[in-house]
Amino acid sequence: MPDRTDPAEQLIRSWEANAAAWTRTVRSGGIASRKAATDAAIVSAIVGRRPRRVLDIGCGEGWLVRRLAQEPGCATIGFDGCPTLIAAARSSDPGGDYRDLTYAEFIANPDAVDPGVDVAVFNYALLEGRAVDLLSSAASRLAPGGVVIIQTLHPWTSAGGSYRDGWRTEDFSAFAGSDEAWTPMPWYFRTLESWLALIRDAGLAIETLREPVGETDVPLSLLLVAARTA
């Protein structure tokens, strides 16, 4: 029986409730920071490695998988625990490889995805309180020389006045299209120190840390590229 008061349970349930609004918002360019810098930043970080196989973890409605399909010789698998988002991804890209898979299912059975992945990417999709098993399962899929790439809210601009790890609530009010009926989403805030500790605990080491700014004076995201240490 799922614990309905558990933020991790509420998190995945919120995506089912928000799937249609999220799909409309992403596809209409309703998230300003994405248009300004962060979509280009994640694409460039991935494409710059000339990957042959990419795993998009928490792929949502599939924009990044569709974008990477334009790169010659790059095959991408996307998975997500929200069936409505996976259905939206498939209907826009019937030839794409999209899988219904929750993070808990992936951790229990990483072999659901074949190893030999050059890039495993989390684009605003590492929202869990306990993320080390998820990150090490992603790392277990990497080919030699492969990397995990994480793009997330920058902790220095998203702390909301309390620079301490802990659950926060996203109400989506900053998005264009915020007149949509959004269900609040719990997400776990980490300080920069905690991000670095999480990556180390998952058996990874940072190769590069980027802070895309676009034309603003503040970082629009934190973008980490990490390789296996062993």
* Cα gap 40→58, rounded to integer Å: 18
Judged by beta carbon, residue 30 or residue 81, the one nearer ligand SAM is: 81
Q: Which residues contact 148 (CB under 8 A, 6 or more apart)?
A: 119, 120, 121, 122, 135, 138, 139, 142, 204, 225, 226, 227
Which residues inside 29-58 make contact with ligand SAM, applying CB under 6 A? 58
User: Does the protein bind ligand SAM through residue 81 (CB under 6 A)?
Assistant: yes
Q: Which residues contact 27 (CB under 8 A, 6 or more apart)?
A: 61, 63
Q: What tokens does 188 get?
A: 């776990």
User: Does the protein bind ligand SAM through residue 60 (CB under 6 A)?
Assistant: yes
Given 10, 23, 25, 123, the residue binding ligand SAM (CB under 6 A): 123
User: Minimum CB separation from ligand SAM for residue 144, in Å?
Assistant: 26
* Cα gap 171→173, rounded to integer Å: 5
Contact 143, 117 (CB under 8 A): yes
CB atoms closer than 10 angstroms to residue 188: 18
User: Minimum CB separation from ligand SAM for residue 220, in Å?
Assistant: 14
User: Does the protein bind ligand SAM through residue 80 (CB under 6 A)?
Assistant: yes
User: Does the protein bind ligand SAM through residue 125 (CB under 6 A)?
Assistant: yes
Judged by beta carbon, residue 85 or residue 113, the one nearer ligand SAM is: 85
DSSP strand pairing (53-57 vs 117-123): parallel
User: Does the protein bind ligand SAM through residue 175 (CB under 6 A)?
Assistant: no
User: Minimum CB separation from ligand SAM for residue 134, in Å?
Assistant: 8
Which residues inside 89-118 make contact with ligand SAM, applying CB under 6 A? 102-103
Judged by beta carbon, residue 78 or residue 146, the one nearer ligand SAM is: 78
User: Does the protein bind ligand SAM through residue 170 (CB under 6 A)?
Assistant: no
User: Does the protein bind ligand SAM through residue 12 (CB under 6 A)?
Assistant: yes
In the DSSP assignment, the letter for residue 130 is S
DSSP assignment string, 90-121: HHH-TTSEEEE--HHHHHH-GGGS-S-EEEEE
Stretch of 7-15, 66-74, 108-116, 190-198 contacting ligand SAM, by CB under 6 A:
7-15
User: Does the protein bind ligand SAM through residue 11 (CB under 6 A)?
Assistant: yes
Q: Which residues bind ligand SAM (CB under 6 A)?
A: 11-12, 15, 26, 58-60, 63-64, 80-82, 85, 102-103, 123-125, 127
